[in-house]
């Protein structure tokens, strides 16, 4: 993931803090909550991200992984559309 944000610091947040102090993964643009296990609660993780994000100008996302599964990302369709639109504009230049 660090390749996508060249020159930016991506690091783990403090897990022991309250959920709205900082995300599980500190990165540009996103408030990232991470859950993994046998059956991670995807929507609960997304709601946690969304609520903790509050008025910050960040996109709430949940990164989840079932045991022995692949990592998945959950975000609002409107946020995905905005990101794709911005990418489209960059590609057209």
Contact in structure between 25 and 10 (CB atoms under 8 Å): yes
Angle at 24 (CA atoms; ends 20, 27), nearest 5 degrees: 100
pTM for the model: 0.79
pLDDT over threshold 90, residue 62: yes
Q: Would you state the pLDDT for residue 7?
A: 58
**Domain housing 63:** 2-92
Closest by Cα among 57, 62, 55 to 25: 62
**pLDDT greater than 80 at residue 3:** no
CATH assignment at residue 79: 3.40.1350
pLDDT (tens digit, 9 = 90+) per residue, 75-90? 999 999 999 999 999 9
Residue range 11-51, pLDDT digits in tens: 666 655 555 677 888 788 899 999 999 999 999 999 999 99
d(CA 41, CA 33): 11
Domain count, the chain: 1
């Amino acid at each position: 993931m660090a390749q996508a944000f060249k020159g930016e610091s991506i690091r783990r947040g403090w897990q022991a803090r309250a959920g709205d102090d900082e995300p599980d993964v500190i990165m540009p643009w996103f408030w990232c909550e991470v859950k993994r296990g046998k059956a991670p609660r995807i929507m609960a993780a997304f709601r946690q991200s969304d609520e903790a994000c509050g008025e910050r100008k960040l996109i709430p996302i949940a990164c989840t992984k079932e045991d022995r599964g692949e990592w998945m990302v959950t975000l609002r369709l409107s946020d995905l559309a905005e990101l794709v639109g911005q990418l489209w504009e960059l590609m057209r230049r």
